[in-house]
Amino acid sequence: MYLKEIELVNFQTIESFSSEFDGNVYLVTGENEKGKSTLLKSIAILLSGNKDDVLKNGEDKGFARAVVGDDEHEYQLELKFTKKESKGSFNDYRQKKRYEIRPGFHIAGHF
């Protein structure tokens, strides 16, 4: 599995960030105190389930969302947090399944 998308709103020092990934290696660069470590921390929290106080100071609510998967399956991981629940609550679910369609074959069904 690999990271395909990430979206952050009011996650510690990050007000808003979203990106899609379609390769294998990415470099995160920028000036000091611009959110590079916070971005990596958000990925670690979403993948591990280990929560921390993540709500940006002065905000009422926020979320972190990521899509991970491989060529066949995708899963959306989501952490929503508020002032009252600053460590948040997790949701995860299967988003979609991809099928390789070959000439002469028909795939039907749901999951």
Place of tokens 């991981």: 77
Q: Would you state the pLDDT for residue 14?
A: 93
Architecture of domain 2-97: 3-Layer(aba) Sandwich (3.40)
Burial class of residue 30, CB neighbours in 10 A (0-12, 13-18, 19+): exposed
Q: Would you state the pLDDT for residue 106?
A: 39
More confident residue, 24 or 8: 8
Please provide residue 36's backbone torsions phi and psi, each rounded to the nearest 5 degrees: -60, -50
Please provide residue 40's backbone torsions phi and psi, each rounded to the nearest 5 degrees: -65, -40
Looking at the DSSP bridge assignments, the partners of residue 77 are 66, 92
Please tell me the chain's helix, strand, coil percentages from 3-state DSSP, rounded to the nearest 5: 10, 40, 45
Q: Which amino acid is at 2?
A: Y
pLDDT value at 95 more than 80:
no
Q: Would you state the pLDDT for residue 27?
A: 85
Residue 36 is inside which H or E element, if any?
A: helix 36-48
CA distance 91 to 60: 19
CB distance 74 to 68 below 8 Å: yes
More confident residue, 97 or 24: 24
pLDDT band of residue 48 (cuts 50, 70, 90) is: confident
